[in-house]
Amino acid sequence: MNCNNIMNLLKEYSACGISGIRGKKNALLCLICCMIVIVMTACCSVPAEKEYVVPEISTDSAAAPQAVVPESPQQLMYAYERTPAAEEPLTFKEIYVYLMEGYEKWLNVDAPFSSLAYFGTEVGTYGSLLRVPVRKKLPDLQRPVYLVATCQSMSLSHFVLDPQFKLRDPLIQELVAATEPYDGLDVDYEYIPGKDGQHFLEFLTHLKKKLGNKKLRVCVKARVRELQNDVYPYKKISEIADSIMVMAYDEHWSTSAPGEVASMDWCRRVAEYALSQVPAEKLVMGLPFYGRSWVEPKLNRAYRFPVLNDVLTENNVVKVERRDGVPWCEYDVTAHVSVWFDDAYSVIQRARMYKDMGVQRIAFWSMGQEDPEVWNYLQVED
């Protein structure tokens, strides 16, 4: 029996009670019935929650923004003494560059690259795409442009990859639709749970089939050896995708000990393993353009009061002010900063090492972060 049935019965009883009240008990019972009817009317009139509908992703439209005009390459006054990177340019069959949305003005259209990967679209809370970068924001490059797709959460990756949750196929449909204005799709899923490795392979297989003639590139984390139950099995992924981009960077990261973003020896071992697993015509070695800094001592933290009191004592802080009763203070400390980065010289040395090992294709993360001199030492094979 639903709300409407119950309410109709109560209304009938209330009406009978009003028309033929016999004493205080009947009057009281009638009043209770009327009150129940009022409450249930309010509760049952709340509309049912609407079923979630995957929104349409607009990839192109007449109202799309105009292309951002890139700025002229920067002419830098270098802070330190430079070493020439090479006597003549290095030649590769293909050079890919990544460009983050919002960095369009730093796109060097004259740089020697063969294709661009536009970063990117990502999976939202409900398993559908949040947004898609509009290709019209880029100038006409006369070169292939890939859409980069990410999923920035391990739990979301699990739910969209495991087919039992019914999110995988709708997401694949969205990705295919989002790729329509582009020449291919670059899948950069870096948060795949350990138990979803097979689901990731199935996801890529279905995605590649749905993409038809469009290219599928898959980004994989750097490895120097085969891991047990690896969610990025290079060989198996290479059998599905048109190419694999090995992210040979972040050897050291923001919360690690200071060190190279990508040391030469580590990169050599990563490339050796990749070449043993992936056909040369499908392998792309990724190189970083960026650097990182580390500061000692690390001072951004939360404190227990006894510890904070010791810190203030050690730094001779005797004056504490209050804002609306809340204490605060400032003091100066001497900090040591370690910076590891790449310039044209180190980038070209790493690229030359890859070329000497038999790597034919490289990619850079990302345009706008580079030492502009690097482009003087690279060229794409005719």
User: How large is the C-alpha radius of gyration of the chain?
Assistant: 31
Maximum Cα–Cα distance across the chain: 110
Please answer whether residues 374 and 342 qualify as being in contact, where contact means their C-beta atoms are separated by less than 8 angstroms: no
Q: Rounded CA gap, 129 and 149, in Å? A: 9
Q: How far is CA 52 from CA 283, 287, 296, 332, in A?
A: 40, 41, 48, 53
H/E stretch holding 100: strand 94-100
DSSP 196-210: GHHHHHHHHHHHHHH
**Rounded (5°) CA angle 110-363-291:** 95
Question: Under DSSP, is residue 275 helix (H, G, I), strand (E, B) or coil?
Answer: helix
Q: How far is CA 268 from CA 275, 282, 285, 306, in A?
A: 11, 18, 11, 49
Q: Rounded CA gap, 216 and 210, in Å? A: 11
Q: How far is CA 164 from CA 19, 65, 204, 252, in A?
A: 58, 39, 16, 37
Q: Catalytic site residues?
A: 190
Q: How far is CA 80 from CA 110, 180, 294, 337, in A?
A: 26, 46, 20, 17
